[in-house]
């Protein structure tokens, strides 16, 4: 797995630098918007308009469900990929003399397959919930 460390580190550093620049650009944009509307703002416009909602309702955000099903699918895909490699490639676990290409294809395919199945399951659960909510 040494072949993946360099691209992974370069990707993480690139993403960090991009997010840092994005943060500063957004801060400047927000300050410009605040300055633009600052002259037109009157404190009487928001007086007694803010209140804390006491009853919380679930409005249907399924982001956590999607991420959870995706990660479960990826984990299951890696596990299935390991068992496929262990069962089909002779000497996979003992001496390490196995075909790297074969194991890479098996791991990649099973990870993508089960990750996609996890997202499909999340979609079906979401659709069932929305259908049940419409009927009631």
Handedness of CA 90, 93, 97, 98 (dihedral sign): positive
pLDDT value of residue 5: 85
pLDDT at 133: 84
Q: Which residue has the higher pLDDT, 37 or 72?
A: 72
Judge contact between 118 and 71, C-beta under 8 A.
yes
Provide mean pLDDT across the span 58-73: 77
Does pLDDT of 30 surpass 90?
Answer: no
Task: Work out the mean pLDDT of the chain and round it to a whole number.
Answer: 79
Lowest mean pLDDT among 58-62, 77-81, 88-92: 58-62
């Amino acid at each position: 797995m040494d072949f993946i460390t360099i691209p992974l580190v370069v990707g993480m550093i690139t993403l960090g630098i991009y997010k840092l620049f994005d943060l500063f650009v957004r801060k400047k944009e927000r300050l410009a918007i605040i300055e633009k509307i600052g002259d037109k703002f009157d404190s009487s416009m928001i007086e007694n308009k803010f209140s804390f909602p006491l009853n919380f309702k679930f409005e249907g955000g399924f982001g956590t469900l999607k991420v959870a099903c995706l990660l479960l699918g990826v984990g299951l895909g890696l596990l299935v990929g390991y068992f496929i490699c262990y069962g089909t490639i002779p000497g996979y676990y003992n001496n390490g003399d196995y075909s790297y290409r074969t194991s890479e294809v098996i791991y990649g395919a099973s990870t993508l397959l089960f990750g996609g199945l996890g997202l499909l399951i999340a979609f079906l659960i979401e659709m069932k919930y929305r259908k049940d909510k419409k009927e009631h």
